[in-house]
Amino acid sequence: MADPRFFHKVGPFTAGRIAEAIEATVEPADQADRIFSDTGTLEAAGAHVLSFFENVKYKDALAKTKAGGVVVRPDHADRVPAGAMRFLTPLPYRSFALAVQMFYPDATVEPAVDDSAWIAEDAIIGTGVRIEAGAVIEEQAEIADGCWIQSNAVVGRGCRVGAGTRIGRGVVVTYALIGERCRIYAGTTIGTRGFGFAMDRRGHIDLPQLGRVVIGDDVEIGANCSIDRGMSGDTEVGNGTRIDNLVHIGHNVRIGKGCVLCAQVGIAGSAVLEDFVVLGGQVGIGPHSRVGTGVQMAAKSGSWRDVEAGAKLCGVPAVPIREFHRRNVILERLSRDRNARDDQS
């Protein structure tokens, strides 16, 4: 159970109501009024707790669980111990996530503007907005309804923040238009001057960076990330994309819809990620390269060429994942052979 210092639980709910909310079918149907008061892992769950099972690696935990109900795929229904209810769905992890959301809904924003916040006279502040201590809203910035600007965040001159978006503690937003329902976490900086200049040993010459950062709706950006504004034209992040911590996005990068960028990824200037691209931790994408829809790259890969849609790559330079493993096996054998020869000589 979550620490009540930090998390507020609601409920309980009946099995029937949960099943409806999480898009599952509950069995036995005649017990749909059984009561659930929390969600939890298979190991920790008790009689009124809902858990889930998807990966067969955990089949022993499932066999022993004392959970009152388990979210499972229909073809795993038989594995659920007798006595536990079954919540059947083709996507147990997704349905379980919806169940946890039921019990632990997002905190609602209590509208308030703290006296210590600095707000320019010509800034436009919507209704239901919360602006916390030490936050700064510069001239002509627009903060739409229901936004939550947390302590010590800065929204720069002329920026627009869409309805329901949260700007985390210490975040800096400049030269940016941000969509609705986004969450930008602590310490992230958006709109920094792109790294653009003419190299010159007498002194590098700035190329003024005259673009913006345009972020879609429902985007999540982790902590301590940096997203540079465009040089000419915009740096873009598409609807529903999720970005983890310490990620760098260079100027004029365009990221599509629903992408997933793990921690410490770096995207060099003018690269394009089409929709639903998934990049593992510490991946690097070279400048001006295009990564096709649905591409997946393993952690630590580096790619500086165009990658066709659907490819699954690994390594530096990134190659298909099977090719990566094959090359490793080859090196391993060469090394073993050499060792054997060394031993004989």
- Strand 154-155 relative to strand 136-137, pairing: parallel
Using CB under 8 A, pick the residue from 48, 73, 79, 242 that binds its own copies: 242
By CB under 8 A, tell whether 35 contacts its own copies. Answer: no
| Least Cβ distance, residue 274 to its own copies (angstroms) | 13
Exposed/middle/buried for residue 128 (C-beta within 10 Å: 0-12, 13-18, 19+)? middle
Q: Give DSSP secondary structure letters for 284-318.
A: EE-TT-EE-TT-EE-TT-EE-S-B-TT-EEETTTT
By CB under 8 A, tell whether 327 contacts its own copies. Answer: yes
Tell me which residues in 292-321 interact with its own copies (CB under 8 A): 299-300, 302, 304, 315-317
Tell me which residues in 60-119 interact with its own copies (CB under 8 A): 91, 93-94, 96-98, 100-101, 104, 106, 114, 116, 118
Exposed/middle/buried for residue 158 (C-beta within 10 Å: 0-12, 13-18, 19+)? middle
Tell me which residues in 164-203 interact with its own copies (CB under 8 A): 168-170, 172, 174-175, 183, 185-189, 192-193, 195, 197-201, 203
Residue 248 falls in the annotated catalytic set: no
Using CB under 8 A, pick the residue from 14, 31, 37, 151 that binds its own copies: 151
Q: Which is nearer to its own copies, 41 or 108 (CB)?
A: 41
Q: What binding mask, one character per residue, do residues 255-284 give for its own copies by CB under 8 A, x or -?
A: ---x-x-xxx-x-x-------x-x--xx-x
CA distance 170 to 136: 10
Select from 198, 148, 209 the least CA-distant residue to 176: 209
Exposed/middle/buried for residue 206 (C-beta within 10 Å: 0-12, 13-18, 19+)? exposed
**Residue in 8, 251, 288, 325 annotated catalytic:** 251
Catalytic residue numbers, as ranges: 251
